[in-house]
Amino acid sequence: MSAPLDIFGVHRVANGALWMEDVALSEVAHTFGTPTFVYSRAALSAAYARLDNALKRARKSKPYLICYAVKANSNLAVLNIFAKLGAGFDIVSGGELRRVLAAGGAPEKVVFSGLGKTRDEIAFALQIGIKGFNVESEPELKRISAVATELGKIARVSLRVNPDVDAKTHPYISTGLKNNKFGVAFDRAISTYQLASTLPNIEIAGVDCHIGSQLTDASPLLEAMGRLVSLADELESGGIPIHHICPGGGVGIAYADEPTIDIDAYATALEQALSIGGKKREMELLLEPGRMLTGNTGLLLAKIEYVKPTESKNFLVIDAAMNDLIRPSLYQAHHEIVMASAASDEVARVYDVVGPVCESADVLGRDRVLAAREGDLVAILSAGAYGFVMSSNYNTRPRAAEVMIDGANVHLARERERVDELFSAEHVPV
């Protein structure tokens, strides 16, 4: 079994057909059609428990909070499961805050990240009473202070500092270097905190950073954490108390058989960073994980429309496309693709797996060896994070359904869009 299939032990193959928990994926396709994102409740819970247990062990009785990065997969069913497990949430828009509330998340466990918060978003978050804002610039800090003053609220803030650490990941998902649009430059951090301490209705809560995503080596994350700890020390010795410290998200997952970060070792190393120099630091540890909690807990189920041999290549044309899962086209990301239908006596051939969208970039996987026939089902693995959330209606394609498997139960987490919905808000001129 390839790594992504194996990870949370929720997939199995019976007679060559792929199951998730106690449900054959052919049953999902039969009931809900394709393409469909399929998530496993057991895998989501296992991913959360793995991190939660690692932090519990590392932190002993000291406080920590897992703020799930909603952007990775914002379906209400997913948010609801994490909320029930006690998670907090990291949001980047008023829309995500509304989702968290609709899913039963606790507002006092929400941190608001992102570099373009509008006045309305800030006001809404203050009224709801979130845990705090991760502030990315001086003008934002001033705006938050002004809105909080108007509303008679106190805004708790952390600065998202840019530690200038190379995350060594894809340039599109690397965010911690100087020339990125994100965060406050490290050498401006102290003066920005000093400014914050003079602004009305602002309470300084913590220090924060996020250096990038899909990191498979922990050292840049730990280097960034080290910088945050020294910044917190400097602030505290200058009379600014720091209540929490957050090295962001970014822990990568195995999309194939590549090595990944050991979660226990990561939690232990974060804890060690907090006691560097033999100093006792009692602040709360926050994390903002997205992908590691959802990536390998879901797949995209699709049907083969055509088997198309050509002189130079064989193509499998499936009914999922770059509008459903854009990661391969946008980041040249690799997703394993396996057969989900029962085994046939078809011979295995090398195929490019492509969608029907009119773009040469609409390739879900190149050079895959599959024993495939027209009408068979394929599963594109590791599609639980940055899958549905990044999907679009390009080519007037309705967005896929999302279902959640829970043991032998199949829960429709989001209905497939209907074509008429796609243009029902459009108007022809009179």
- Residue 358 annotated in active site: yes
CA 390 centroid distance within chain: 11
Q: Looking at 67, 209, 246, 358, which residue is catalytic?
A: 358
Task: Extract the tokens encoding 153.
Answer: 């609220």
Do the beta carbons of residue 404 and residue 411 sit within 8 Å? yes
If binding is defined by CB under 6 A, does position 227 make contact with ligand LLP? no
Task: Name the nearest CA neighbour of 84 among 56, 44, 50.
Answer: 44
Of residues 36, 213, 341, 391, which one binds ligand LLP by CB under 6 A? 213
Give CA–CA dist 1/328, Å, rounded.
22
Of residues 289, 298, 355, 384, which one binds ligand LLP by CB under 6 A? 289
Of residues 290, 355, 365, 384, which one binds ligand LLP by CB under 6 A? 290
Do the beta carbons of residue 233 and residue 279 sit within 8 Å? yes
CA 277 centroid distance within chain: 34
If binding is defined by CB under 6 A, does position 291 make contact with ligand LLP? yes
Do the beta carbons of residue 363 and residue 352 sit within 8 Å? yes
The region that residue 261 occupies, defined by phi over 0 for left and psi between -120 and 50 for alpha, beta otherwise, is beta
Kindly indicate which of the ranges 6-14, 289-297, 340-348, 405-413 contains the residues binding ligand LLP, using the contact rule CB under 6 A: 289-297
Give me the 144-183 binding string for ligand LLP, x by CB under 6 A, dash otherwise.
Answer: -----------------------------x----------
- DSSP E strands: which ranges in 136-182? 155-162
Q: Nearest distance from residue 216's CB to ligand LLP, in Å?
A: 11
Say how many Å lie between the first and final Cα of the chain, rounded: 59
Give me the 331-350 binding string for ligand LLP, x by CB under 6 A, dash otherwise.
Answer: x-------------------
Bond prior to 35 in cis (omega within 30° of 0): yes
Residue 139 neighbours by CB distance under 10 Å: 9
If binding is defined by CB under 6 A, does position 72 make contact with ligand LLP? yes
Separation in Å, CA 143 to CA 12, 194, 205, 206, 380: 52, 16, 17, 18, 43
User: Interface residues for ligand LLP in 241-260 (CB under 6 A)?
Assistant: 248-251
Q: Which is nearer to ligand LLP, 166 or 421 (CB)?
A: 166
Type of residue numbered 365: G
Q: Nearest distance from residue 414's CB to ligand LLP, in Å?
A: 19
Q: Nearest distance from residue 211's CB to ligand LLP, in Å?
A: 9
Kindly indicate which of the ranges 120-128, 285-293, 313-321, 375-383 contains the residues binding ligand LLP, using the contact rule CB under 6 A: 285-293
Of residues 21, 96, 288, 319, which one binds ligand LLP by CB under 6 A? 288
Of residues 21, 90, 402, 406, which one binds ligand LLP by CB under 6 A? 90
Task: Extract the tokens encoding 96.
Answer: 């995500």
Type of residue numbered 148: A
Q: Footprint of ligand LLP on this chain (CB under 6 A)?
A: 69, 71-72, 90, 113, 173, 210, 213-214, 248-251, 288-292, 327, 331, 386
Catalytic residues: 358
